[in-house]
Amino acid sequence: MLVTLQKVLSMAEEGGYCIPAFNVYNMETAMGVIAAAEEAKAPIIMQVYPRLFAEKAGYYLAPVVVAAARQASVPVCFHLDHGPGELEVTRALRFGATGIMLDGSTLPFEENIALTGQVVKTCSYLGIGVEGELGHIGTVNDEGMDEFTCPEDAARFVKETGVSCLAVLVGNAHGRYKKPPKLDIERIAALREATGGLPLVLHGGSGIPDEEIRQAVAAGIRKMNVATDVCYAFLDRVHEELHDPKRSVAVDNFMKQPIEAVKQFCLTRIELVGAKGKAI
Ligand code: 13P
């Protein structure tokens, strides 16, 4: 069933676990993600980068995600990931998104508060919650990612914007880590306390050691984003299939194994963050 961001976050909060948020790129990655959620009986988030909605692909992908979520037997939120401004947010809402991220993390603090607060207000008319970001989470190639999110700033940001959850910089980054990251678990706990127990979001979920993720969830992470490893699960199996002389050239049959690979990967993340069986 298609549900809002607030719905899955409140389920995670009540149960003390974390919702896995998988980025999807096409029908096949969406099929793998939904198959995993249904098998594991887990509430999940399917999220899409705004670039996909800016291209023609959005006209095909958005209805696929909405239909997949609607027919699923488990709660699924359709979320915009890293929306940079009101144009992208409006477009995602028109495409049927039930959760919005407004990423104003590269703006000066006051401007981030103003823009995020404005989007929270707009989305509230539709009953849709917003994820904000404070402390810019760059990529694994960026220098100077050591200015972790400040708890006092986070407290003010949350109070003034009214976000439903907050993405924080605590040693995480997007992409394939060159060496396993060490998350600042105490910082996560401090951010959680400073924001009055707001659900916190961990971006860059690909390649973080399992034990770090468990500790992060125990400290207050309630949504974990995974994108790069969804792509690798899919593409690695595509490569394998291409080298199999017995492969099918009918594209739908060819895609069955890559879809299965995405499903198997997602099952491991669902279990790790404690979401397995929580949709019952
Ligand atoms: P990864 O690509 O590192 O998994 O990060 C995903 C993410 O945070 C999407 O917003």
Which among 78-82, 137-141, 246-250 has the top mean pLDDT? 78-82
From residue 86, alpha-carbon distances to 78, 96, 122, 197 in Å are: 18, 15, 9, 27
CB of 226 shorter than 6 A to ligand 1: yes
Residue 143 confidence (pLDDT): 83
The number of the ligand 1 atom at minimal distance from the alpha carbon of 101 is 10
For a pLDDT cut of 90, what percent of the chain falls above it? 96
Arithmetic mean of pLDDT, 116-135: 98
The number of the ligand 1 atom at minimal distance from the alpha carbon of 81 is 10
**For residue 280, pLDDT beyond 90:** no
Residue 199 confidence (pLDDT): 98
CB of 206 shorter than 6 A to ligand 1: yes
**For residue 163, pLDDT beyond 80:** yes
CB of 48 shorter than 6 A to ligand 1: no
Arithmetic mean of pLDDT, 217-233: 98
The number of the ligand 1 atom at minimal distance from the alpha carbon of 230 is 4
Residue matched to tokens 């995480």:
172
pTM beyond 0.95, yes or no: yes
Residue 146 confidence (pLDDT): 79
Residue 181 Cα to ligand 1 middle (Å): 14
Which pLDDT band, with edges at 50, 70 and 90, does 144 fall under? confident
- Burial code of 117-132, b = ≥16 C-beta within 10 A, e = fewer? bebbebbeeeebbbbb
How many residues are recorded in the chain? 280
What whole-number distance in Å separates Cα of residue 241 and Cα of residue 261? 11
**For residue 63, pLDDT beyond 80:** yes
Note the pLDDT tens digit of each residue in 27-39. Answer: 999 999 999 999 9
Residue 188 confidence (pLDDT): 98
Q: Which of 5, 273, 269, 253 is nearest to 120 (CA)?
A: 5
Arithmetic mean of pLDDT, 231-249: 94
Residue 145 confidence (pLDDT): 78
CB of 81 shorter than 6 A to ligand 1: yes
Arithmetic mean of pLDDT, 94-107: 98
Task: Using DSSP bridges, classify how beta strands 130-134 and 165-168 pair: parallel, antiparallel or unpaired.
Answer: parallel
**CB contact at 8 A, 168 and 188:** yes
Residue 24 Cα to ligand 1 middle (Å): 11
Alpha helix (H) residue ranges in the chain: 5-15, 27-40, 50-54, 57-71, 86-94, 109-124, 151-161, 185-194, 210-219, 228-242, 251-254, 256-272
Residue matched to tokens 């959620």:
37
Residue 157 Cα to ligand 1 middle (Å): 23
Residue 119 Cα to ligand 1 middle (Å): 22
3-state DSSP assignment of residue 182: coil
Q: What is the radius of gyration, based on Cα positions, of the chain?
A: 18
CB of 47 shorter than 6 A to ligand 1: no
